[in-house]
Amino acid sequence: MKFFSEIYGQNNAIDLLRRSFDRRMVSHAYLFCGPSGVGKKTCAVAFARALLCRQPLKGDACGECRSCRQVEGGNHPDFIKVEPDGGSIKIEQAREIQRRMTLAPFQGGRQICLIDRAESMTDEAANCFLKILEEPPAGVVFLLICVQPYALPATVLSRCQQVLFQLLPISQVALILAGSPGVKQEEADLTALLSGGSVGQAIDLLSGGALAERRKQLAQTINAIDSAGPGEACRLAGSLSGSREETLAWIQGLMLWYRDLLVWKESENEKLIINRDFLQAIKEQASYREVSLLIDRLRKIEEARNRLSRNANPRLVLDVLFLNLCRPAELA
Ligand SMILES: [Zn+2]
């Protein structure tokens, strides 16, 4: 569990929260939005702990009082955490929030309700939640965490104070990673580049988690797509499709990969390659692809990324992208 002072690179967000806390101008709802893995949840929990702390110091929790210890131990009775049940936050969960928040706080202070992946609320849940936001019980603070705020109804958005989080500069991610035990500088630099500025993704990569697996699959997919017909292209898209966030990660992975192919083709400079640990595959794949084809692929991937950001269906975006990628450039 972190204090505000231990969270890197999100000074604007932290300043906003500390100021509202210091000046006793705490809103009844905050929306923590930004890319995944940049510290939104860490920051929301730090804020919740400060709000519940009995002897806060300089806009932060003391870390020692009973309340701080309870938040730390995950058993503070007035700190409720809600996350999607299956793929979404359902109406029953929203009703339960409504019920809990109308009860008096157990410890007489504030009640905090943290809602993770808030954009996954069903329409019914969002409507029910909106009613609570319209007449918030005194002392209740909602902390909503989301990656895609536009997926929430505008009526909910307009009732929350937005706290914006950004990707960190690559150099800062490298610095954070290099400070971790057992991580060499070269490994930290490469991982930071691949993470695109998300410490969460960088840690996942280092620990051989989902992201590391994804990159291996990416290398194979790019080979397969060239010889694929439309049916096979859709099958490949289907094998990768998942949530909006996962789909975006695939698209970004594809983009970095094709970028590397193009950079190698044009420069043959190993230092400019991001996927440096797949250098052999990059060189080989670049050798039989024309520059014009690589530029065409990058455009199509960018189009797919734009469609996804305009809230298109993730599976459909991947289907269309893969159908486009498997065709020769001049026909697409
Ligand atoms: Zn405390």
Q: In the predicted model, is pLDDT for residue 269 greater than 80? A: yes
Q: Are residues 152 and 21 in the same domain?
A: yes
- CA 79 to ligand 1 centroid distance, Å: 14
In a domain, 197, yes or no: no
In a domain, 137, yes or no: yes
- CA 11 to ligand 1 centroid distance, Å: 22
C-alpha to C-alpha distance for 45 and 27, rounded to whole angstroms: 16
- CA 19 to ligand 1 centroid distance, Å: 18
- CA 16 to ligand 1 centroid distance, Å: 20
Q: Are residues 106 and 247 in the same domain?
A: no
Mean pLDDT across 264-272 = 92
Q: Identify the pLDDT of residue 211.
A: 66
Q: In the predicted model, is pLDDT for residue 182 greater than 90? A: no
Per-residue confidence band for 209, with pLDDT thresholds at 50, 70 and 90: low
pLDDT digits (tens, 9 = 90+) for 116-161: 999 999 999 999 999 999 998 889 999 999 988 888 999 999 999 9
Q: Identify the pLDDT of residue 328.
A: 62
Parallel, antiparallel, or unpaired for β 111-115 and 140-146? parallel
Torsion (CA) 2, 151, 200, 205 in degrees, nearest 10: 160
- CA 138 to ligand 1 centroid distance, Å: 21
- CA 4 to ligand 1 centroid distance, Å: 13
In a domain, 288, yes or no: yes
Cβ proximity of 301 and 255 under 8 Å: yes
- CA 66 to ligand 1 centroid distance, Å: 7
- CA 39 to ligand 1 centroid distance, Å: 21
- CA 43 to ligand 1 centroid distance, Å: 16
The number of domains in the chain is 2
In CATH, what number is assigned to the domain containing residue 247?
Answer: 1.20.272
Q: Identify the pLDDT of residue 331.
A: 46
Q: Share the mean pLDDT of the chain.
A: 89
Mean pLDDT across 274-290 = 89
